[in-house]
Structure 1
């Protein structure tokens, strides 16, 4: 039985080398809108059903369609108000189905990173060749429609294989060199970026992506009220802002346009953003910017500290 994933080392949060964000910021805040495409009747996967009902699963499908028809513009306008550029966790089939959304994302200078092709097609059961084909397809599609060299990856519907990190790092390097494929959102183990081992030896990291602050987990799984979600976001920020005095932290707010953008939920989200951006020493960043800054300024010191604290073994 495996004791760990083997892609990162145990590395206590206390007494790490100090992370210094631009302009002395305590917290790097990034908002990750998941803009997804779900199929009404996708190919069956024996490991996971796409919908709880037989096709047509109208409740699940149509509320997600609401996100792409209504919710995305509502959230874009709100993030514009607070000077936040989104880092879009993208079902890349959206580039073909709704190119107008991609146009609006690019107009704002938002980041696009890969969340697979459809959020109804999973990694489970794929061979290494099939998974690599899916990852390469997603990276190439983002570049073709936006000119962006995809830097980050979140497995579709969080369906992760033991090879996913390796394959994404390799696909990015093969297609674009060091300009692509260098961070993952699939690990939920820290409040700071951390080094991750991949088999091609590329400089590769995890950028914190929070399931606890994810609006789908909050609303659909934990059944939290909107006003309480707003309070959760503020308290989450307060703790990271306090700890960020000593070493920079990362706060990620993952959203879905069919969740947080429903009319009765927007006010609580807006109040939380107003509260967070009202503080000084907050860096409003994209996932790529956080990753690039960490790789340039903190990665090497992190590796040395990990090696020292593990008795010289890394």
Structure 2
């Protein structure tokens, strides 16, 4: 390795084709979880010197109102389709939503959805935070979600995907068991932290509806086709060793009237296929911690001993 290019050591290298197989419950080859991002965006948030919240000068009424469509309309349309086809949500939650629009959180909780933290607001970033500030966000997330839903969060997706070098160590210290912030694998794996056990939960930018519609300029039909192709390939590979497919969603995008029909076809396809363990992220984490974590750690040690 070249000088100045040190590996940060977040996780070990384990070749995809040389791992102890993962086995999901009931012989399923793929664990599928849907992650609705239930978010709250401030119309005129405090400025962060490292990143602007909106591309336009504040207040960005258009950006704010477009995203608020999720909480007024899109969530309900998306949630009803998910429930119809038997897909629980694993919610990436802007925790402030518990106070701003508690009806959304109550509806998701009544559907049996799981909650994990996506920070307080999606317009406030971790860049530049000191340790006390970051601890306050984690503690606020745990307390607020517990008070609103009775659930204790077990997972983390950093607000607007922003981090500090201490983020992973801190969430593990507070007892969280998985992070969605590492996009490096199609299976769970151990993450190196100072205390506790933390695993990486496969989350996707490639089939995230934000990337599909904003970055790749996909039509609803193209996006649905990409999800089906993602599922079919991972389900086939999972026959050898269980894989994970995450479908990250934003209701202001997928909940639009002209998109929801194509997305419903995806859910129908996966539900009818028979190879999927349709579940929640916390259930995947629990199963892997109990049945796959030690084997994954042993694989890493074996590969390191044999040399790269």
TM interval, short-chain normalised: over 0.9
Choose from 166, 178, 183 the match for 2:178: 183
Matched, 1:3 2:3: no
Bigger mean CA offset, 125-134 vs 151-160: 125-134
Map of 1:1-314 to 2, 5 A cutoff?
1-172=4-175, 181-200=176-195, 202-311=196-305
**Distance of 2:297 and 2:178 partners within structure 1:** 16
**Distance of 2:41 and 2:101 partners within structure 1:** 12
**Distance of 1:252 and 1:199 partners within structure 2:** 27
TM-score normalised according to structure 2 size? 0.97
What is the DSSP-based 3-state SS (H/G/I as helix, E as strand, rest coil) of the residue aligned with 1:142?
Answer: helix
1:65-89: CA deviation from partner (whole Å, max 9, x where unpaired): 1111101111110000111110000
**Distance of 1:52 and 1:241 partners within structure 2:** 39
**Distance of 1:45 and 1:9 partners within structure 2:** 33
How much does 1:312 deviate?
A: 7.6
1:47-67: CA deviation from partner (whole Å, max 9, x where unpaired): 000001112211110011111
Structure 2: gaps of 5 or more residues: none
**Distance of 1:224 and 1:5 partners within structure 2:** 34
TM-score normalised according to structure 1 size? 0.95
Does the CA-based 8 Å contact 1:93-1:118 persist in structure 2?
yes
How much does 1:5 deviate?
A: 2.6
Q: How many pairs are equivalent?
A: 304
Moved over 2 A (4+): 1-5
1:104-130: CA deviation from partner (whole Å, max 9, x where unpaired): 111111000000000000000101111
**Distance of 1:23 and 1:13 partners within structure 2:** 23
Rate the CA distance shift 1:138–1:2 in 2: closer, same or farther, 3 A. farther
Aligned-CA RMSD value = 1.1
**Distance of 2:78 and 2:279 partners within structure 1:** 17
